[in-house]
Amino acid sequence: MADSSFNPFNMAQQQFDAVAEKLNLDQATRDFLRNPDREFHFNIPIRMDDGSYKVFKGFRVQHSDARGPAKGGIRFHPQETVDTVRALAMWMTWKTAVVDIPLGGGKGGVICDPHNLSMREQEAIARGWVRQIARNVGPNQDVPAPDVMTTGQHMIWMLDEYEKMTGAKAPGFITGKPLGVGGSLGRTEATGYGVMYTVREACKVMGIDITKTTASFQGFGNVSQYAVDQYTKLGGKAIAVSCWDHEDKKSYTYRKLSGITFEELITITNKFGEIDKVKATEIGFEILDGNAWIEQDVDILVPAAIENQITKDTVNMIHPNVKIIAEGANGPTTPEADEVIKARGILNIPDFLANAGGVTTSYFEQVQCNMNYFWTKEETLEKLDSKMTAAFHAVYNLSKERNVYMRDAAYMISISRVAEAVKMRGWV
């Protein structure tokens, strides 16, 4: 489903421009917010295990810090591009604003493939990334977090390097850390659970009994795993999940019409969120084409893998019975596909609302680190639930009031909040 001509940053700007028009934003504010405040490109030279040296390309983009320090993950990905990082940084600005937390938007990345790197080589890249950017990040400037193919282990290496360089303890510098070294209970589940809190609320406003619904998921990384977990706890039936197979260099859909459980799947999934085909067959899964997740006869679709997945070419594969799309991934739906979804009356919970649970709990982690006082898992998830529920209803109510698509309503709330902060600061 990859499209080499797809530029996520162009898509992010296109979405912004359409809403800026609806809000009648002045030209200076538009020019200011449609581009990042600043971006960094740097080289990370690493000594490999075989004694050779290799140079990796790293990025950090800070889209906006008008409402607070920039916030956003760091990806390790072989196809990473600066345009992807720019788009994700921009979406993070809207994400922190829509759930109304006092942070801005940033994103980072390194072009590398962790599948082909030892843990020592990954540690060297993580520490090298921090050395290149340490002057421009920090608890009060820009707070990183894990993202695609990075984990709490990478975060603690980065924190350790930052603390060595600054000579002080700074647990609030980075989030998504392991428990016991400044991590927050509930952070692992947060993004996937947050997606499902919004789905639960969507079912309520649509008069749907969630216990009678079925769902199909794309991806089986952290977000999708815990979305499946929470969805089944709410009484829904997950019937299909797709994921990438690194060995075959393609994706497959794993389907079980009797229902999938998190506990069952996690036992046959590796640390990259890839399911073991042989073991899946042994426990009764049908193995279908990678695109089959989108064609399933379900009530709810959850794209939770990567950007550019529901496109003008795939949107018409969506089954007529689908009522809700909850975007667990960032940027999974293109503007052309949005038009079809809108015309069909499917409720789309946009990415920067649906998957804001991760950044919200990262914010909670930062607060706990700065207070040096930690909450129970129940407290964290309760606070997350109330934030996500309030944000969903604010967006849903505006979409009804103004008769606009959910994505546009979410953008209207976010962009208005950021624009107001920019104006109050006297930047434009």
- For 95, residues 6+ apart whose C-beta sits below 8 A from its C-beta are 105, 351, 352, 353, 355, 356, 359, 414
Q: How far apart are CA 154 and CA 108, in angstroms?
A: 13
Amino acid code (one letter) for 374: F
CB 31 within 8 A of CB 41: no
Active-site residue, selected from the candidate residues 22, 57, 71, 107: 107
Alpha helices in 34-180 (DSSP H): 82-98, 119-133, 152-166
Question: Phi first, then psi: what are they for 118, rounded to 5°?
Answer: -75, 165
CB 265 within 8 A of CB 226: no
CA distances (Å), 353 to each of 98, 171, 218, 333, 413, in order?
A: 7, 27, 18, 14, 11
Amino acid code (one letter) for 103: L
CA distances (Å), 191 to each of 195, 197, 354, 372, 426, in order?
A: 6, 10, 8, 23, 34
Residue 107 annotated in active site: yes
CB 135 within 8 A of CB 61: no
Active site residues: 107
